[in-house]
Amino acid sequence: MMFLKIALYLILAPLIGGLLSGIDRKISARFQGRQGPPLLQPFYDLFKLFEKQALVVNGVQDFFVGGYFVFILFTGCLFFVGGDLLLVCFALTLAEVFLMMAACSANSPYSAMGSQRELLQMMAYEPMLLLTAIGFYIATGSFMVDDIAKSSVSPIAYLPGMFFGFLYILTIKFRKSPFDISTSHHAHQEMVKGITTELSGNILALVELAVWYEDVLLLGIVGLFIVNMQWWSFLIAAVVCLFAYILETFVDNLFPRVKWNSMLKSTWLVTLIAGGVNLLILTLVH
């Protein structure tokens, strides 16, 4: 069963992630009054990148990116086999640190600046991520994804604030405007391409692929707010996930990119207010 789940995740996640990314690009284009690329464009891009020669500035970049890739996959597997949510957060951090180190190792100005910003982003969203896990724990009595998914009431009933907070940091994690400060899907960044500046060809492809895996993982957490014992709750969760994703696209097109200090301040504030108050009430009631 566990291996089946892992296999399913490993196979389906990139498909779903790629497709979502395609939807994102298509809808973004339509928001901007453009025709937009074909739906399968992200896959074309990925295959192309795998076909291309990779340019590296040193020999350790691919090692770090490999670490990033492997640990993102690992984290996803851990989540979908029903592992410990806190450990999922920690493993995700580890993966991100690998990516950050890949950027630093390049020793190039834009990639280094990107890595500092990436760290800052991590600093911004990390509290809310942990708080979400804690929220699940208090609401359902367990950190295990398996147990949380089997609760009798959807956790969101207890965790509306956390849900909001999580959606908020999701913008950072999805690298969407206004929080796409370390690297962006859009061109014209003061960072050039930020952390991915020095990555190219198949190494870049790995990063893209990892992002898809990660997107699915994050949407999994969104879904976790919704699911409960009933089978149909999974359907609702899927719809909510899709909706959350499109919402992020909408937001992406609605805001200018903010500066790092606004990002940090607002994210921490939202964490403190939406998450903290939710936590306070939960502990008082439970």
d(CA 188, CA 68): 26
Backbone angles phi, psi at 144, to 5 degrees: -80, 130
- Interface residue with other proteins, options 8, 12, 38, 269 (CB under 8 A): 38
Min dist CB 83 to other proteins, Å, is 6
Q: 213-242: which residues touch other proteins (CB under 8 A)? A: none
Stretch that binds other proteins, among 11-19, 90-98, 152-160, 215-223 (CB under 8 A): 90-98
- The verdict on 147 binding other proteins (CB under 8 A) reads no
Nearer to other proteins, 106 or 210 (CB): 106
What single-letter DSSP state applies at residue 38?
Answer: -
Q: Which residue in 97, 236, 242, 247 binds other proteins (CB under 8 A)?
A: 97
Amino acid at 65: V
Query: Does residue number 149 form part of the binding site for other proteins (CB under 8 A)?
Result: no
Position 260 contacts other proteins (CB under 8 A) = yes
Stretch that binds other proteins, among 6-14, 15-23, 26-34, 227-235 (CB under 8 A): 26-34
Please measure the distance between the N-terminal and C-terminal CA atoms of the chain and give it in whole angstroms.
Answer: 34
**Per the structure block, which two tokens stand in for 9?**
């995740």
Q: Are 25 and 36 in contact (CB under 8 A)?
A: yes
CB 274 within 8 A of CB 164: yes
Cβ closest to other proteins, residue 70 vs residue 238 = 70
Taking the CA atoms of 60, 65, 66 and 68 in sequence, report the sign of the dihedral they define. positive
Question: Nearest CA to 78 among 206, 217, 260?
Answer: 217
173-202 residues in contact with other proteins (CB under 8 A) are 177-178, 180-181, 184, 186-190, 192-193, 196-202
- Taking CB under 8 A as the rule, does residue 270 contact other proteins? no
